[in-house]
Amino acid sequence: MKVESSLLIPAIYSRLGTPTLTGALRKMHLIRQFEEGAEQAYIRGLVHGTMHLSIGQEASAVGVGVMLQQGDYITSTHRGHGHCIAKGADPKYMFAEFFGKDTGYCRGRGGSMHIADVATGNLGANGIVGGGLPIAVGAALALKQTKQPSVVVCFFGDGANNEGAFHESLNMAALWKLPVVFVCENNKYGMSMSTERSTSVKYIAQRAMAYDIPGVTVDGNGFKDVAEAAETAIARARSGLGPTLIESLTYRHRGHSKSDRNRYRTKEEIEQWIANDPIGRFENELQELGLITAQDIAALVTSVRAEVEEAVEFARLSPAPAIADLTQFVYSNPQSEVSHVG
Amino acid sequence: MSAEVRELSYSQAIQEALAIAMERDERVFLMGEDIGVYGGAFQVTGDLVHRFGEDRVMDTPISELAGAGVAVGAALLGRRPVYEFQFSDFSTLAMEQIVNQAAKIRFMLGGKTSVPLVMRFPSGSGTGAAAQHSQSLEAWFAHVPGLKVVQPSSPHDVKGMLLAAIEDPDPVMFFEHKLLYKMKGPVPEGYYTEPLHEARVRRAGTDVTVVASSIMVHKAIEAAEQVASEGISVEVIDLRSLRPMDYSSVIDSVTKTTRLICVYEGTRQLGIGTEVAAAIAESSAFDRLDAPIVRLGGADCPLPYNPDLERAAVPQVPDIVRAIQKTVRGVR
């Protein structure tokens, strides 16, 4: 039975089309289940290091990712699983990287904080707050130098907006009108420090003014809002008009990392945001618009579950890197390896 | 067929290498503070902006951290940036991008990419520029796996090694001593490269090995010539590259001469000479030693302004002469 709706379909949804919207919802579920799977794997002892989960922030990653084309690039953060999946990463190789396996995206050398796949335009998550900002600007400079019609999306968190790298990068990108979009995922806390306590402006997007570029604050848990802002900013960047700063207001349901005891926020606040879950909101919206049915959603969730289970198994059964290869990727040429003293 | 050799200054040789690199490879571009119409704080880039335009000789804002990071990002996409720090001291503002990003990206990403960039560091004392414009920080960078660190001593080497550095797929930290910029020497015309991992014997000798790099090579040679009249035969090794380090050349030399003096401008403690000394202590040459190893390094203080104090803070020719005499004659 076709779901009837009297609501007007937003223009951006018409432009994207139902298959893309369904694909976006699937990616949001994939991110969610990937991270829940990662948590489970951690509990099972399959993951050796820490992890930073973005559960609750999926609309932000996918709302931007859905607007990117082949040839576009992203830089990401320590909380970057969602960005990777949104850019097209395969959870198989992500889990393998998590588990420290030789089949992982970084052959087990990087782990959760360094997942990258340059071939598909993912220049890498980053363990340093603000570390990806200048790199994104440099990548955008390379695109401009080679006259490619591509853009770079630079994801970072609210914490990074107080790093010098943020300000230096926005200035240079604005100065040279580079094809880069700065997406600040403001999840309210840099580890334990709230933006109210860390940041002198109410909205991080206000800081765009200092660099004479557009700055917009959007409801980061609303897929449509994020996608609209991303569409405008990416078009602007692609046409040579320069960068935009998008502030995406969102929330991480989980703690900062595995060491977090949630001492800096209230249970009520967390529950309030869980009620504002981006996946549930997007599903309701698509159903109300008659673009998807509950059955479609159930089928999609089941297929994601199978994909995640398969990915975990692939990773679990993959070989570990050889100890003998410890220093293998330090330099490109073997002659550069520091010789042992005779 | 031998290329014509003429005399060029060290800075002219760098400029020529930059020009050749940009002519040969459209991916190569220069970034830095005041490297355009100003010509660079030490006039190394000179008029290159007029020849190659502002897009390839890019003046950057005074933002060393992002400047270095922009070089990293551009290199990731296959460009070949050459970033000039106005003074090597200012690289302290960019350590995050150099140490955490440039040096590690290839390894962290499982060898799937590389970061082909060059960073140039005008460094060293002797210009009366005091503590924040005179440091020799090369040992810091040599401590970081993933970086290559070189310190050419002559116009010939600086041209060939810079061309090699720009072609190298990995990040190369290129240290230029400011007092060498005006030094002249023979430089072949046209394109050539010098390896980034080999030391050179600059003066053959039999009694003692002096290991040096950059400006200290010249001081060591001068000292060696002074003691030659006393019948002391000094072998001077120019390390050229600090990472990777050519240990075997030093070991071979010390095995022959049985004595080692390391001369370097950076702080003596945990410096380049410390590494050379330790390498010899661990090597087969240790048993051949006829004298304790000597390290002549920078004094344990920031570089002072007063010229006499400044000279006293780094090894000078008379210091090297004294160290050679003591080491060879066994006078403690």
Q: Do A109 and B107 touch (CB under 8 A)?
A: yes
Please say if B133 is a catalytic residue: yes
In this structure, is residue B106 part of a structural domain?
A: yes
In this structure, is residue B193 part of a structural domain?
A: no
In this structure, is residue B99 part of a structural domain?
A: yes
B208 in the same domain as B122: no
Among residues B122, B156, B188, which one ends one of the domains?
Answer: B188
- Shortest CA distance to B233 belongs to which of B242, B241, B224? B224
* The predicted structure's pLDDT at residue B330: 82
List, in sequence order, every residue forming a beta bridge with B123; answer none if it has no partner: B177
**pLDDT tens track for B84-127:** 999 999 999 999 999 999 999 999 999 999 999 999 999 999 99
In this structure, is residue A2 part of a structural domain?
A: no
The range of the structural domain enclosing residue A216 comes to: 11-312
User: Among residues B64, B138, B194, B310, which one is catalytic?
Assistant: B64
B172 in the same domain as B226: no
In this structure, is residue B194 part of a structural domain?
A: no
The range of the structural domain enclosing residue B322 comes to: 200-329
What is the number of alpha carbons within 13 Å of residue A190 lying toward its C-beta?
18
Among residues B188, B211, B227, which one ends one of the domains?
Answer: B188
- Total tally of structural domains belonging to chain B: 2
Please spell the DSSP secondary structure of B29-78, one letter per residue.
Answer: EEEETT-STT--TTSSSTTHHHHH-TTTEEE--S-HHHHHHHHHHHHHTT
B224 in the same domain as B158: no
Alpha helices in A44-194 (DSSP H): 58-65, 81-86, 91-98, 132-145, 164-175
CATH code of B43's domain? 3.40.50.970
In chain A, which among 47-86 make CB contacts under 8 A with chain B?
A: 73, 75
- Shortest CA distance to B34 belongs to which of B59, B63, B55? B59
In this structure, is residue A163 part of a structural domain?
A: yes
In this structure, is residue B23 part of a structural domain?
A: yes
In this structure, is residue A1 part of a structural domain?
A: no
What is the number of alpha carbons within 13 Å of residue A320 lying toward its C-beta?
9
- Total tally of structural domains belonging to chain A: 1
Q: Which run of H or E residues covers position B249?
A: helix B247-257
In this structure, is residue A3 part of a structural domain?
A: no
B110 in the same domain as B52: yes
B182 in the same domain as B84: yes
Going by the DSSP 8-state scheme, the letter that residue A336 receives in this structure is G
User: Among residues B133, B156, B177, B218, which one is catalytic?
Assistant: B133
A134 touches chain B (CB under 8 A): yes
A329 touches chain B (CB under 8 A): yes
* The predicted structure's pLDDT at residue B87: 97
Q: Which run of H or E residues covers position A181?
A: strand A180-186
Among residues B160, B188, B216, which one ends one of the domains?
Answer: B188
Closest Cβ–Cβ partner in A127, A165, A333 for B66: A165
Token pair, residue A81, equals: 């699983």
E-only strand ranges, chain B: 5-9, 28-32, 57-59, 80-84, 118-123, 148-150, 172-177, 184-188, 200-203, 208-212, 234-238, 241-243, 260-267, 294-298
pTM higher than 0.80, yes or no?
Answer: yes
Q: Do A131 and B65 touch (CB under 8 A)?
A: no
In this structure, is residue A61 part of a structural domain?
A: yes
B128 in the same domain as B84: yes
B182 in the same domain as B210: no
In this structure, is residue A145 part of a structural domain?
A: yes
In this structure, is residue A337 part of a structural domain?
A: no
Please say if B50 is a catalytic residue: no
B220 in the same domain as B92: no
Closest Cβ–Cβ partner in B113, B146, B279 for A341: B279
Interface with A, mutate which of B59, B95, B108 (most A CBs under 10 A): B108
pLDDT by residue, tens only, chain A of 342 residues:
455 555 799 999 999 999 999 999 999 999 999 999 999 998 888 888 888 999 999 999 999 999 999 999 999 999 999 999 999 999 999 999 999 999 999 999 999 899 999 888 999 999 999 999 999 999 999 999 999 999 999 999 999 999 999 999 999 999 999 999 999 999 999 999 999 999 999 999 999 999 999 999 999 999 999 999 999 999 999 999 999 999 999 999 999 988 888 899 999 999 999 999 999 999 999 999 999 999 999 999 999 999 999 999 999 999 999 999 999 999 998 766 544 443
Residues of B in contact with A327 (CB under 8 A): 145
Residues of A in contact with B251 (CB under 8 A): 341-342
In chain A, which among 176-235 make CB contacts under 8 A with chain B?
A: none
B250 in the same domain as B132: no
Say if residues B93 and B140 touch (Cβ distance below 8 Å). Answer: no
Reported ipTM exceeds the 0.90 cut = yes
B282 in the same domain as B171: no
In this structure, is residue A326 part of a structural domain?
A: no
CATH code of A88's domain? 3.40.50.970
- Closest chain B residue by Cα to residue A152: B73
B183 in the same domain as B205: no
B171 in the same domain as B109: yes
CATH code of B227's domain? 3.40.50.920
What is the helix, strand, coil percentage profile of chain B, to 5?
40, 20, 40
Say if residues A274 and A280 touch (Cβ distance below 8 Å). Answer: no
In this structure, is residue B195 part of a structural domain?
A: no
